[in-house]
Amino acid sequence: MRVSVHNIEEPSPGHFYWPDIDVDLTEAIIQNPGEFPLSAS
């Protein structure tokens, strides 16, 4: 399966936002996902 990610914003260094699905990620989460439990609000 091939997945493409488009329309990513970097509002500040190391902070990424994907407005199409309202997702915020930090560089730390991307590099170490096991250290951050999944949650939704």
pLDDT in tens, 11-33: 999 999 999 889 999 999 999 99
| Look-up of token digits 């902070």 | 15
Query: Closest Cα to residue 24, out of 3, 36, 4, 2?
Result: 36
Q: Give the pLDDT of residue 19.
A: 92
R_g (Cα) of the chain, nearest Å: 11
Q: Give the pLDDT of residue 32.
A: 94
pTM over 0.75: no
Q: Give the pLDDT of residue 1.
A: 79
- Is the model's pLDDT at 40 over the cut of 80? no
Q: How is the chain split into domains, by residue range?
A: 1-41
Q: Give the pLDDT of residue 41.
A: 66
- Is the model's pLDDT at 3 over the cut of 90? no
